[in-house]
Amino acid sequence: MPVPRLPACPHRGCLGLLLPLLLALLLAPPARAGEPAPGRGWLRFADGNTLSGVLLSRNAAGGRVRTDRFGDIDFRDAEARFELEIPPGVAPAPAPAPTGSAPPAPDWQPADLSVGVSGYWQQKDGSTTSNLSLDLGATWRSARHEIRATLAADYKVVDDNVDNNEQSGSLRWLRALHGPWVGLLSVNLERSTFAADPLPDLDYVLVQATAGLGWRQAWSPASETLLALNADRVALDVLSLHRRLTWRPLSLLLENRLRLSPKVRLDHTLRLYRWPGGETGIDSDAELGYDLTDSLRVGLRHEMRRNAVNRDAAQYRRLSLITRVSF
| CATH code for position 76 | 2.30.30
One domain, residues 51 and 115: no
One domain, residues 255 and 296: yes
With 50 as the cut, is the pLDDT of residue 53 above it?
yes
With 60 as the cut, is the pLDDT of residue 89 above it?
no
DSSP secondary structure letter of residue 9: P
Q: What is the dihedral of CA 290, 293, 294, 295, to 10 degrees?
A: -90
Alpha carbon 6 to chain centroid, angstroms: 76
In a domain, 284, yes or no: yes
One domain, residues 74 and 210: no
One domain, residues 281 and 218: yes
Mean pLDDT of 27-55: 66
Q: What is the pLDDT of residue 182?
A: 95
One domain, residues 68 and 149: no
With 50 as the cut, is the pLDDT of residue 82 above it?
yes
Higher pLDDT, 74 or 323: 323
Are the CB atoms for 271 and 286 separated by under 8 Å?
A: no
One domain, residues 76 and 114: no
One domain, residues 76 and 125: no
Q: How many structural domains is the chain composed of? A: 2
In a domain, 32, yes or no: no
Higher pLDDT, 44 or 11: 44
Amino acid identity of 135? D
Distance, CA of 135 to CA of 267 (rounded, Å):
14
Q: What is the pLDDT of residue 267?
A: 95
Give this prediction's pTM. 0.64
Q: Give me the domain span that covers residue 208.
A: 110-326
In a domain, 27, yes or no: no
Distance, CA of 295 to CA of 297 (rounded, Å):
7
Residue 247: give its domain's CATH number: 2.40.128.130
Higher pLDDT, 221 or 104: 221
One domain, residues 59 and 179: no
Distance, CA of 311 to CA of 206 (rounded, Å):
9
One domain, residues 69 and 146: no
CA angle 149, 151, 155 (to 5 degrees): 165
Q: How many CB atoms lie within 10 A of CB 189?
A: 14
Binned at pLDDT 50, 70 and 90, residue 299 comes out as very high
